[in-house]
Structure 1
Amino acid sequence: MSSLLTNTSAMTALQTLRSVSASMATTQNRISTGQRVASASDNSAYWSIATSMRADNSALSAVSDSLGLSAATVDTQYTALSTVLGSDGNSGLTKMQSLLVEAKTAGIDRKKIQTEITQIQQDMKNTANAATFNGVNWLSTTATTPTSVDLVSSFSRVGAVPTTGKITLTVANYSLYTATSSGFLDTAGGGSSIDTINIGALTDSAADQTTLDGYIAQVTGAINSVSQAAADLGAVKNRIDNNSNFVKSLMDSVSRGIGQLVDADMNAESTRLQALQVQQQLGVQALSIANQNSQSLLSLFR
């Protein structure tokens, strides 16, 4: 039945054109944003997951920054410990040990040897005081220095429960000088500490030779303690480096996962856009033809 009041063909063509236009708008939005799921209205489940994963990635980025700061701090302390140790034999504790052994030689001028030892003592203290990064110094501590420090190493989330991993270090394990004189180099042993050893007045007497033996044993013990502290920090350095590399890889993995959920396939969207453009043109043409039906009815009454 032909009707002037109800143009069924035009209504159908218009409905099809609206559907094509809506699909075209969606496709154009995906192409412009590069995302298949750009808002919760696109896919609430995927959008929620992607939002949570982006928050996790932001936390991982903070962990990466924290690991970088921790690595620099540990490296500063490690470098200072190595310097105090003096592995080259020309400085630090190893040089002091050599000088004390040399001082046991009968008739040697121990005052001149003490001059070198004094310089080494001052140099080691200066090195410990300078081992500061971002206001942190574990080698030369004060009354306000914390007894332990936590270095952030990881972040994970299971369900709604976040977990932050940490590396805990005891500052006393690396302290050379402390406010209470309990460090490796300022703890008194046998009447004096490494920092206060003075052999300038010693002679060749048996008692003074025994004193020298005690000093040598004291310095040897300090070498062992500082070596162990440096070895511990070296292990911590490796752990931080490993964690840093893992966190960066994990961030890349999370980013790829987010992309799989919300990124648009640009090849597919480009093909779909071309098809929709053709459909839109055909829809406009179909609507135009349907609207001409009324003109055809007029010819019946001429």
Structure 2
Amino acid sequence: MSIYRREAVDAALYVLRDVNRNLLTTQRQVATGLRVERASDNGAYWAISTKLKTDQKAQSAIQDALGLAGATMDTAYSAVAESTDLVSEIKAKLVAATETGVDKTKINDELTQLKDQLRSVVSSATFNGDNWVQLKDGDNPAKPREIPASFIRMADGTVRVDKLSYQVDISPSGTTTSKDARYLVDDRPDQSGQNGVFTSVHFATETGASQNYVLVKTAGDSTGQVEIALTENTSQDQVKEMVRVVDAMLNQMTTVGSAFGALEKRISLQSDFSKSINDNYSTSISRMIDANMEEEGSRLKALQTQQQLALQSLSIANAAYDTVRQLFQNI
């Protein structure tokens, strides 16, 4: 054996270095739970998973927006349902006023309370600063109310955000009808309340009423509006006109309620789908970059054993080399 050649020692060192390198990699995977933590681990998987993570964050934002929209729609639908009950009560009071000998002033006191409650319900139907049943200064009924619904990455790498919308059926000619009253109250200062069920005179004109009856006057331009109310001098024909107007309003309220209900259901379905997409993102990312903890745990134990054996081999090789070196020490 040559004292200048250390094949056994070098071989033991090579094995030990290889084991230590694999051991460090496995220890890092066990500690982080990831087999692809950096681009150097697997460039392709790292790039795909990084893009998926950013998309997942966007999808999570969509989920949050849908949750907020769902709460907003719950508030709006509750307002419509409560208002429908109140308007039904108003209709019943007006029908009662058609009876001979009824004190119309006392019935009017009840009507006043019911109308005040309608105003209270409409004003209170606000969630996170957004009211979907009342038009106020700056609101545009022709512009749809939009809700972020989905985040989509196209095949060419571009992205888009699709939205759900609630849009008023504004006539292309600009002439509104009772069908355009898709809100409960229209209080825009520069308008005559035409897009609110309770403030639109179209229900009166379309039913042939002698006056422009409304349930509550708009806070905007109320010129010509006649709020439904009773006095001792209110004729039976006028009461019957009021009943027809209120009944037409109730029919339109069912349309508004149905639209809100349909959109609320769509939001619920989209929210469930968004959660599924988010779960799919997590699963896909996990498959690409997560370490198999059972496999890596077993590998860690095996490498630790190999490290001990490699250290023993190196120790034996060094001892053998020292023995040979000592033979030539005094030569």
Query: Does the alignment reach a TM-score above 0.5?
Result: yes
Alpha-carbon separation, structure 2, partners of 1:137 and 1:232 = 15
Q: How does 1:190-201 map to 2 (within 5 A)?
A: 190-195=211-216, 196-201=227-232
Gaps of 5+ in 2: 169-180, 205-210, 217-226
Q: How does 1:161-240 map to 2 (within 5 A)?
A: 161-170=158-167, 173-179=182-188, 180=191, 181-182=193-194, 183-188=196-201, 189=204, 190-195=211-216, 196-203=227-234, 208-240=235-267
Deviations 1:88-122 (A, max 9, x none): xxxx1111111111212223221221111121111
Is the Cα–Cα contact under 8 Å of residues 113 and 200 in structure 1 kept in the other structure? no
Deviations 1:134-193 (A, max 9, x none): 111122221212432111111122342222121111265223233222211112233221
Is the Cα–Cα contact under 8 Å of residues 4 and 294 in structure 1 kept in the other structure? no
1:243 is matched with 270
Q: How does 1:79-90 map to 2 (within 5 A)?
A: 79-86=78-85
1:286 CA displacement: 2.2
Residues 1:158 and 2:185 aligned together: no
2:110 is matched with 116
User: Residue type of the partner of 1:186?
Assistant: T
Gaps of 5+ in 1: 87-91
1:93 to 78, 87, 94: 87
Alpha-carbon separation, structure 1, partners of 2:212 and 2:307 = 97
Residues 1:259 and 2:286 aligned together: yes
2:207 is matched with none
SS in 1 for 2:186: coil
2:219 is matched with none
Q: Which has the higher helix share?
A: 1
1:49 is matched with 48
1:34 is matched with 33
Alpha-carbon separation, structure 1, partners of 2:327 and 2:268 = 87
SS in 1 for 2:213: coil
Alpha-carbon separation, structure 1, partners of 2:107 and 2:29 = 80
1:296 to 324, 327, 330: 324
1:222 CA displacement: 0.5
Alpha-carbon separation, structure 2, partners of 1:146 and 1:279 = 74
SS in 1 for 2:291: coil
Alpha-carbon separation, structure 2, partners of 1:271 and 1:122 = 74
User: Residue type of the partner of 2:298?
Assistant: T
User: Residue type of the partner of 2:257?
Assistant: A
Between the two proteins, what is the percent identity of the paired residues?
33
1:268 to 277, 295, 303: 295
Alpha-carbon separation, structure 2, partners of 1:113 and 1:278 = 94
Is the Cα–Cα contact under 8 Å of residues 103 and 232 in structure 2 kept in the other structure? no
1:89 is matched with none
1:32 CA displacement: 0.7
Is the Cα–Cα contact under 8 Å of residues 194 and 218 in structure 1 kept in the other structure? no
SS in 2 for 1:121: helix
Alpha-carbon separation, structure 2, partners of 1:198 and 1:252 = 57
Is the Cα–Cα contact under 8 Å of residues 135 and 183 in structure 2 kept in the other structure? no
1:246 CA displacement: 1.7
Alpha-carbon separation, structure 2, partners of 1:158 and 1:10 = 58
2:128 is matched with 134
Q: Which has the higher contact order (CA 8 A, sep 6+)?
A: 1
Residues 1:73 and 2:72 aligned together: yes
Alpha-carbon separation, structure 1, partners of 2:133 and 2:297 = 63
Equivalent pairs, count? 292
Q: TM-score, normalised by structure 1?
A: 0.90
Is the Cα–Cα contact under 8 Å of residues 27 and 273 in structure 1 kept in the other structure? yes
Moved over 6 A (4+): none
SS in 2 for 1:164: strand
Is the Cα–Cα contact under 8 Å of residues 3 and 324 in structure 2 kept in the other structure? no
Q: Which moved more, 1:52-61 or 1:193-202?
A: 193-202
Alpha-carbon separation, structure 2, partners of 1:94 and 1:210 = 20
Using a 3 Å threshold, how does the CA distance of structure 1 residues 191 and 201 change in structure 2: closer, same or farther?
A: farther
Q: TM-score, normalised by structure 2?
A: 0.83
SS in 1 for 2:134: coil
Is the Cα–Cα contact under 8 Å of residues 77 and 257 in structure 2 kept in the other structure? yes
